[in-house]
Amino acid sequence: MNERRPRILWGLTGSVATIRADRLAEQLLQLGDVKAVVTHRARAFLPVLPESISIHDDQDEWSTWQQLGDPILHIELRRWADLFVIAPASADVLAKMSAGISDTLLLSVARAWDFTRPLLVAPAMNTLMWEHPTTAEHLNRLTSWGARVISPVSKKLACEDVGIGALAPPEEIAERVSDVLKATMRS
Ligand SMILES: Cc1cc2nc3c(=O)[nH]c(=O)nc-3n(C[C@H](O)[C@H](O)[C@H](O)COP(=O)(O)O)c2cc1C
């Protein structure tokens, strides 16, 4: 029986849905300890998050490493995490992950991911981006490696278009995270 709290690594990207990340933060903190990894573009939308969530970005990756023997942040975060959930996941991050690109902290964690642990992505993007054939290709590739997709929902988007592409509600994302944690930490 595992006594410690689950460790949730939370990726945030440059989707406008990051504006509402404080709501998801509350939900995730009920499930375990949380560390956040943000992209450069996510910073443009990031609200104030609870202090208990440490926020890591590309600069930290390079400021924490000075010489051989120093911790390498993307590896340390990957080792720490029981689960990685990227919510919202931008079209750009999904494309880069599926191509194995790893030129940011978030992408390096994803590239170094140990797929015996769960990785969930919750896409959020404009409807036409979502319906573009390349999105399904990227998601198919990611799921073939073991990633799980939390599907976006239909509503009036920030750009005023109406259609599928909005980030799934925080309660739904948290429920998926909770279910996956229960299933994997039991085993
Ligand atoms: C106001 C604004 C809102 C955006 N919203 C989204 C979005 O919801 N989903 C998305 O995939 N890209 C969105 N983008 C585009 C991304 O920010 C852009 O592709 C960026 O390079 C993503 O960087 P990242 O994937 O490294 O976070 C938006 C851009 C702007 C300026």
Given 72, 99, 128, 159, which residue is catalytic?
A: 159
The owner of tokens 């590309």 is: 58
Q: Is the pLDDT of residue 157 over 80?
A: no
Q: What phi and psi values does residue 90 have, to the nearest 5 degrees?
A: -75, 160
Report residue 185's pLDDT band, with 50, 70 and 90 as the boundaries.
confident
Instruction: Give the separation between CA 155 and CA 27, rounded to whole angstroms.
Output: 22
Q: How many domains does the chain have?
A: 1
Whether 82 and 32 have beta carbons less than 8 Å apart is answered as yes
What is the 8-class DSSP label of residue 57?
-
Distance of CA 58 to the CA centre of its chain: 15
**Total H helices, total E strands in the chain:** 8, 8
**Neighbouring-strand partners of residue 54:** 35
Residue 156 lies in a domain: yes
Q: Is the dihedral of CA 113, 66, 37, 53 positive or negative?
A: positive
Residue 160 lies in a domain: yes
Residue 2 lies in a domain: no
For ligand 1, the distance from its centroid to the CA atom of residue 18, given in whole angstroms, is 10
Is the Cβ atom of 124 under 6 angstroms away from ligand 1? yes
- The CATH number of the domain holding residue 74 is 3.40.50.1950
Helices (H), 20-72: 21-29, 58-63
Residue 1 lies in a domain: no
pLDDT at 46: 98
pLDDT at 1: 46
Q: Is the pLDDT of residue 140 over 50?
A: yes
For ligand 1, the distance from its centroid to the CA atom of residue 16, given in whole angstroms, is 7
Whether 107 and 74 have beta carbons less than 8 Å apart is answered as no
What confidence tens digit (pLDDT) does each residue in 62-100 have? Answer: 999 999 999 999 999 999 999 999 999 999 999 999 999
Is 159 one of the annotated active-site residues of the chain? yes
Count of residues in the chain: 187
Residue 49 lies in a domain: yes
pLDDT at 158: 80
Task: Please count the other Cβ atoms lying within 10 Å of the Cβ belonging to residue 150.
Answer: 23
Amino acid at the residue 87: A
Report residue 159's pLDDT band, with 50, 70 and 90 as the boundaries.
confident
* pLDDT over 70 percentage in the chain: 98
**Nearest by Cα to 87 from 36, 146, 158, 53:** 36
Q: What phi and psi values does residue 37 have, to the nearest 5 degrees?
A: -120, 120
pTM score, two decimals?
Answer: 0.97
Ligand 1 atom nearest residue 89's Cα: 11
pLDDT at 2: 59
What confidence tens digit (pLDDT) does each residue in 22-77 have? Answer: 999 999 999 999 999 999 999 999 999 999 999 999 999 999 999 999 999 999 99
Residue 60 lies in a domain: yes
| Containing structural domain, residue 97 | 7-186
Residue 154 lies in a domain: yes
